[in-house]
Amino acid sequence: SLFAKENLGKMSEEQLNRYDRLINEPSNDWDIYYWATEAKPAPAEFEHDVLDMLREFARNRNREQRLQQPDLEYLFEPQR
């Protein structure tokens, strides 16, 4: 998604591991949505810097139009 395209390349290995757990361990994607939008509190195990990054992204302070998912070519770009 847009968050991944914008942030994965900047994350440390520890952050990538936390991101992986965040997107794969909860059984319901709606939980992640509610945590990211702060509609519901996140469990303590997911309260970390990566969720903070996701929350900041969800705030969309620049009022960007995010109507389309990014092309997936960025997944195949050589790593720097």
pTM of the full predicted structure? 0.73
Q: Encode pLDDT of 3-49 as tens digits.
A: 888 899 999 999 999 999 999 998 889 999 999 999 999 999 999 99
Query: Which residue bears the tokens 């520890």?
Result: 14
Structural domain spans, the chain: 2-60
Q: Encode pLDDT of 40-69 as tens digits.
A: 999 999 999 999 999 998 887 777 665 666
What share of the chain in percent tops pLDDT 70?
A: 78
Cα distances (angstroms) measured from residue 17 to each of 4, 13, 50, 52: 13, 6, 10, 15
Q: What is the largest CA-CA distance in the chain?
A: 38
